[in-house]
Amino acid sequence: MNDLLDRIAVELGDGATAIAIPSANPVNFHQVITTLEGCPPLEIDGVLALPAGSGPHPVVIVVPGSAGISPNHVLHARTLRDAGYGVCLVDPFGARSVSSTVANQAQYSFAASAFDVLAALSTVASHPRVDPARISAQGHSRGGAAVMMAAVRTLADVVVGDLAFAGVYAAYPWCGQRFVSPAVGRTVVRAIIGDQDEWCSVMAVQAQIQAISLAGGDASLRIVPGAHHSFDRFEDVHDLPEARVSPNAPIEYLTADGSMIDPTTGLPDSSRTDLEQFRAAVAAGFGQRGARLGSVAGQPERFRDDMLAFHARVLAAG
C-alpha cells in the first residue's frame, strides 16, 4: 500500500486496513464485454474500514475523480463511517503510476474506471463481515461516471455475475459515454450536480438519468443552483487552468457489445477508444482550457445531507 493510503487508514480510525483489489486495464468497454480474459490484469489499492462487531455490515465504496484521492473524499468516508457504515476508499491511480487525469483523461480508459468499481464490489462483497446485499458506491466526477457505468447490467453481468450494488451515488458525473440501453436492475441510482458546472454537462446527466428511468430503473437527479464542480469541497471557487474539458461535445453511445458509436456516422466501431472520442471533440471545437471548481457557503453541507439521505435509503436493513 502506498504512503497516501497509509495516512488515510490512520485518519479513518481503528480497524481500517489495506486491501488489494484485482482489477484490469481494458482499452475500451468492448474488450471487457467480449474478451474479458484478454483485459490486462492490474491490482489496485484500497482502504477498508468496518464498524466493530461481526456484522454483516453495509459498506459504501468511495471512488475519487480526476485529481485522485482528495481531502473531501476522506472527509466523506469519515462522515459515512461515523454514520455507522463500513467504507472502502479506492485508489485508482497509484498502481497505474498516474498522479492526475485533469489535463489528460486518456491515460487509462473509462472502461478501466468502471472495471475498478466492479472489482471493488466483488472484493468487498467477499469479506466475511460485509453484507453483499448492502453495498453502495459513491463516485465523484470521473468516479461518478465510473459508478454509473458499473451499475449497468450489460457490463456488470459480465464482470461480477449476479452481484449488484444496492445503490450508486454519482457526484457531478461525466456522462459523455452511455450504453444505448442502460438497464440497472435493482440498483438505485442518484446523481447530483451544480447548475454552474463547467466540467460536465448538466443536460447529459439529465439525459442519462432519464434513460435509466425509461429502462425501468429507480433513478433520480438533484441539480444544485449556483453550484460549481466539486461543490462538496470546503474550498472557495477557483480556476484550474490545467483542466482540459469538453462538456458540450456529443455523447458517444455504446452498443450491447460495448462498441462505441461514432456520433458523426452513426456506425459502431469495436476498436474505437476514449482517445479517438476526445480528439474528435477537440477537432470539432468543443475543447476548453481551464475550468472552475469549489463551493460557496452551505453547499458542502447540502451535499453531505443529500449523500447521507441516499445511503440511508438504499442501505437500510432488509
CATH number for the region 3-314 comes to 3.40.50.1820
Residue found by looking up cell 442518484 in the block? 190
* pLDDT (0 to 100) of residue 318: 44
Q: Please give the pLDDT value at position 105.
A: 84
Phi, psi of 191 (to 5 degrees): -120, 150
Cα distance between the two ends of the chain:
34
- 232-263 pLDDT, tens digit per residue, is 999 999 999 999 999 999 999 999 999 999 99
Kindly report the backbone phi and psi dihedral angles of residue 40, in degrees, each rounded to the nearest multiple of 5, phi listed first: -60, 125
Q: Strand pairing partners for 291?
A: 240
Which pLDDT value is given to residue 278? Answer: 95
Per the prediction, the chain carries an average pLDDT of 95
- Whole-model pTM: value is 0.96
186-220 tens-digit pLDDT: 999 999 999 999 999 999 999 999 999 999 999 99
The residues, any chain, with a CB within 8 Å of residue 106's CB and separated by 6 or more, are 273, 274, 275, 278
What is the band of 1 on the pLDDT scale with cuts at 50, 70, 90? low
For residues 69-79, average pLDDT: 94
d(CA 145, CA 140): 8
Question: Which tens digit of pLDDT belongs to each residue from 139-178?
Answer: 999 999 999 999 999 999 999 999 999 999 999 999 999 9
